[in-house]
Structure 1
Amino acid sequence: MRKSFFILSIPFLFLACAKQSYKVTNIVHPANKSIDASIEADKEIEAFILPFKEKMDGEMNKILTYAKIDLPKDGFNSPLANFNCDMILEEANFIYEKRHGKKIDLCLLNWGGMRRAFGKGDLTLKNAYELMPFDNMAWVVTMKGKDLEPMVNYLSESDFGHPIAGMTFSPFDFKSLKINGKPVDVNATYTIVTNDFLLNGGDKMTFFNAAESKEDLDIKLRDMIIDHFTKNDTLKINTDKRILK
């Protein structure tokens, strides 16, 4: 009798273990809750994070340097664009000269990479993060002089004054290009410090595809900015025109 019961139970066991399918018949959308000042803060959580916040605020608000003039972002040859590239070129050369015994020729960054402008006055660690909140890395590319013509055309066509250093040119006139004060040699090779975003075609800077070699400096642009701010109690800002419009 027990054996017969066991055999008869087998089909029911399979049915019980069979995968069941479900179908959504109704969706109830909860009411949206705005996150605003009407929501009361949790006092216990506030008390817990307060010491960490105060310590962080103290670090971020530490004054690192001083700007003697306003640093607006907009326009061609803006003081912020010039300073940004001059600063990165200088800091990159500390690393590059130790490795290779020679300097980098140029710096090219992008207008959109500068995330805010600054007025005359003190600049803090927080300001360095505000200027460059991204974790972009510094890279050096080597390119033939002849392959810089697409770069000049790109900068000429742009609606923005992208930061450049070590070079001057008149828009759409490749022959006017001067690198460190000398006319470009189409057969020579030049080194350019930029960031990984642009190196990989960001902002449509595809001319970097012609690079003969690429070298990672293994440092974030933001850390270079912080280093520069820390080493210079007053910033040196060169307002000379690079794009000769």
Structure 2
Amino acid sequence: MKHFVIIITFIGLCSCKQSPYALTEIEAHQLSVDSTLVANDSIEGFILPYHNRINEVLDSTLAYAPTMITKDDGKYNTTAGNLMADIVFEAANPIYKARTGNELDFVLLNHGGIRSIISKGKVSARTAFEVMPFENTIVVVDLTGKSVEKLVKYLMNSKRAHPISGIQVVLNKSGALKSFKIQGKPLDTERTYHIATSNYLVTGGDNMGFFKEAVRITDTDYLIRNAMIDHFKKVDTIAPKIDDRFYKLGI
């Protein structure tokens, strides 16, 4: 009798065991978002204070631009590109030095990463979101001098004013390289250089394959957009200039 009860109990437990669930079918329905949708007053009323506060923060004046700043006002360097690159250098250098003990050598970003002009007039946090809508962080890449040579060739051949800071590229009248300097000194192919860029470019974005040759990569966890906002808060006027960081003789 005892054995019979044990067997019955075991069978009962087995019969109660559930089979694992498995997906058998997927259905999809298209929902149109158009004028036929009616707003929900209670939801809109709940969101409105947050909406107004966000707009207030985004539109508060942080600085002033006396002229329009754009990435299209120069052939080899531009006001927007110079501003962006200089901001990244200013923001990343103290972070990188604190973490590694090394100083930044220069900055290279991409022309296409600048998505909007900065209009003449007030400059706000919204301005930074318009110029840099992506969640790109500042990353410092250690490259050998040989890899930096490839970087220079890329700049010469790209035909675009990629934002740079801390280096000077000079072309002769025929477009060949006349001189290249990093922090005022000629390139040393035997040393390693510390270059601030974006996490997008580190993976070879915009055909910058030389970054894949990195000796070391240090992510500052600092959004480029936030670096812009922090810079705007520290200055009264934003007035970058086209300068001699990249130019061609005879123009």
Shorter chain as denominator, the TM-score bin is 0.7 to 0.9
Q: Map 1:2-13 to 2 at 5 A.
A: none
For residues 206 and 140 of structure 1, the distance between their equivalents in structure 2, rounded to whole angstroms, comes to 15
Partner of 1:54: 52
CA contact (8 A) 1:141 1:191 kept: yes
Point out the structure with max Rg over C-alpha: 1
Q: Alpha carbons of 1:34 and 1:140: their partners in 2 closer, same or farther (altered >3 Å)? A: closer
Partner of 2:198: 195
For residues 241 and 168 of structure 1, the distance between their equivalents in structure 2, rounded to whole angstroms, comes to 7
Letter in 1 for 2:85: C
Q: Once the two structures are superposed, what CA deviation does each residue of 1:133-180 show, in whole Å capped at 9, x if it has no partner?
A: 111121111112222121122122224211111111135645611111
Letter in 1 for 2:104: I
For residues 137 and 61 of structure 2, the distance between their equivalents in structure 1, rounded to whole angstroms, comes to 24
Q: Alpha carbons of 1:186 and 1:175: their partners in 2 closer, same or farther (altered >3 Å)? A: farther
Superposed CA RMSD in Å reads 2.8
1:72 to 59, 70, 86: 70
Partner of 1:104: 104
- CA drift of 1:49 comes to 2.1
Choose 123-132 or 98-107, whichever is displaced more. Answer: 98-107
- TM-score of the pair, normalised by structure 1: 0.79
For residues 175 and 215 of structure 1, the distance between their equivalents in structure 2, rounded to whole angstroms, comes to 32
For residues 117 and 158 of structure 2, the distance between their equivalents in structure 1, rounded to whole angstroms, comes to 20
CA contact (8 A) 2:118 2:131 kept: no
For residues 81 and 153 of structure 2, the distance between their equivalents in structure 1, rounded to whole angstroms, comes to 19
3-state SS of paired residue (1:244): strand
- CA drift of 1:218 comes to 2.0
CA contact (8 A) 1:168 1:242 kept: yes
Partner of 1:15: none
Q: Structure 1: any 5+ residue segments left out of the alignment?
A: 1-28
- TM-score of the pair, normalised by structure 2: 0.77
